[in-house]
Structure 1
C-alpha cells in the first residue's frame, strides 16, 4: 500500500492545502469541520452545503488521491471500522458539568475544544488568513452576528493599532451600502457567524461576492453558516462544550493568534504605528497620561 492510501483522508487534505483552489478549500474546510460525517453525505448534499459544483468536488477528491467520490466514502468508512473515529463516540450524549469541580471540569472541556481546533484548522489555512490580514494593500472589513460581532470588534480594535485600512462594519444594515461601495476586489471581508445564524450576513456576503468581488472569509462552526456559500475561505471552529451555551474560546484563541501573527509580519511598521497611535491618543483633550500609565493604561 502506498503512502497516499495508508494515510487518513484528514491527513491528505491537510497535506494538499497549499495546492487547493478556492472552491476546493471550501470542500476541504467543510469535510474537516465535521470529519468524517460531511463527506459521508451524498455529493449533491455536499455541493449544496458548500456552494461548490459536483464536478469541482470530483476534482478535489482526485487531488487527494481517491478514485472518485464513492472511493472517498469507502476509505472513510474503513477508517471508522478501524476505530480511528467512532461515530458512536462522537455522537454520544454529553454529560453535564459536575458542580463539585465545575470550573476545573469546564476548563478541561475548553482544553478539548482547543485541541479539536488544532485538528480542524490547518497551519496552511491559518497562514493564508494571516497573510490576507497582514497585506497593507488590502482594506479589511469585519462584522459578526448578534453575539459574535463582539469578536469582530475585538479583532478590529487590535488590527487598527497594527495597520491602517481596518473597518468594523456597523451592525445596522442601513449603513452597509457605504461600506460595500468602498470595497475593492483586493479587499478582505471577515465575517463571524455561529449557529442560530444571522440571515442578514448571508445576504451581505452574497452581495459582496456578486457585486464587489472582494475576498470573503467566513469564520463559523461545523454546521456552516449560510454565509459560507459566498465565501472564498471558510474557517470552521469547534464551539460545542457539551453545555446549553456554545463556547467562543476557539474563536478568541484564533483571533489572538492572528493579532500576534499580523503584528509580527512587519514588526518595524507595527512599532511605528503603535508609537504614532499612542502619541495622538495621549495628546487628546482630557487625557491624563500620568494617571493612566501602568496598570490603568489598557492596551
Structure 2
C-alpha cells in the first residue's frame, strides 16, 4: 500500500482501473467506510453479490497480500479516527535536531504533497464547477476547529458570486436554513477527525432534499463522504499531536484560484463594480 495513503484513498484513486464487479465492491466499501471492510470475506461478498475470490482480487489490486492485512489497515484507520491530540502526542516521536520550525515546515510540505497526489482531478473540478455556478446557492458549515476555514472560503466566494451563506455551528439553528434548501443548492461541509455527528445528520438531510454536498475532510474520511457528491480529502497528521489545517487551506486556496481562473469572464464585471463601491464607501485594507 502507498505510504500514508488510507484504504479509502486507494479505493477512490484506483476506481477507474477496476473491473465493473470490483467497482461494485469498492462502492459498497466506501458507502459504509470502514465498517463494511471489517466483515468477513463471505459477508462482504454476499452483501455485494459477488464471489469471495473477487473480493480477494480487489484487495490484491489495492496492494494488500491478504484480507487479514487489508482489515488490519482498516482497524488502524478506525483507531486513528478516534484518537485525541493527547494520544497522538504521546505516540509521536520527537523530531530529530533542534530546528523545530524547519522540521515543521518540511512536514507541512510533505502533507501538502501527499494531499495533492491523492485528490482526483474529477473531484476537484466537480467541486469548482458547483461553487462557480451562479444558479446555485452556497451554504458552508465548519466545526469547532474548521469553522475559520469555512469562513475563509465563504469570504472569498462572496467576492466573486452571490448567494453565499455560512451557517453557524449551532445545530438548533440549521432547520431554519435547511427548509429552504433544494436541488439548486450546494452545502460545503468541513469535518475532520473526531467527526461531528450533527454535521453528518445535517449533510444527510440536505442530500435527501437533492442538495449537492461538497466535503472537505482528512484522509480517514468523515462519514459525511457517504452522501457527498465530491470529497476533497487532505493529509492532516501533523507533528506534536495536532492535526494540521495547512493542507486543507491549500485545497481551499487552489479551489478559489481555479474558480477565478476558469470563470474570470463571469467574475470580472462583478469585481469591477465591487471595487468601485468600495472606493465610494472609503473602504481600506484587505
Determine the C-alpha separation between the residues in 2 that align with 1:219 and 1:178: 23
Q: Secondary structure at the match of 1:182?
A: coil
Determine the C-alpha separation between the residues in 1 that align with 2:102 and 2:174: 43
- Give the drift of 1:72: 0.8
1:23-61 CA deviation, whole Å, 9 max, x = no partner? 977956999xxxxxx69934679x99xxxx9439x6xxx
Distance 1:72 1:123, change over 3 A: same
Determine the C-alpha separation between the residues in 2 that align with 1:44 and 1:276: 61
In structure 1, list runs of 5 or more residues that go unmatched. Answer: 1-7, 32-37, 81-86
Task: Find 1:128's aligned residue among 121, 126, 144.
Answer: 126
- Contact kept? 1:161, 1:274, Cα under 8 Å: yes
The match for 2:243 is 246
Determine the C-alpha separation between the residues in 2 that align with 1:233 and 1:94: 32
Task: Find 1:224's aligned residue among 221, 224, 237.
Answer: 221
Q: Secondary structure at the match of 1:240?
A: coil
Task: Find 1:76's aligned residue among 49, 58, 62.
Answer: 62
- Contact kept? 1:237, 1:250, Cα under 8 Å: yes
Task: Find 1:55's aligned residue among 30, 45, 48.
Answer: 48
TM-score in terms of structure 1 length? 0.71
- Contact kept? 2:31, 2:226, Cα under 8 Å: no
- Give the drift of 1:276: 1.7
RMSD, aligned CA: 3.6
Task: Find 2:167's aligned residue among 164, 169, 177.
Answer: 169
- Give the drift of 1:13: 2.7
The match for 2:3 is none
- Contact kept? 2:29, 2:37, Cα under 8 Å: no
Task: Find 1:108's aligned residue among 101, 106, 120.
Answer: 106
Task: Find 1:237's aligned residue among 224, 234, 238.
Answer: 234
In structure 2, list runs of 5 or more residues that go unmatched. Answer: 1-9, 67-72, 81-90
Q: Secondary structure at the match of 1:68?
A: helix
**Is 1:41–2:27 an aligned residue pair?**
no
Distance 1:55 1:124, change over 3 A: same
Determine the C-alpha separation between the residues in 2 that align with 1:116 and 1:30: 24
Distance 1:9 1:143, change over 3 A: closer
- Contact kept? 1:216, 1:233, Cα under 8 Å: yes
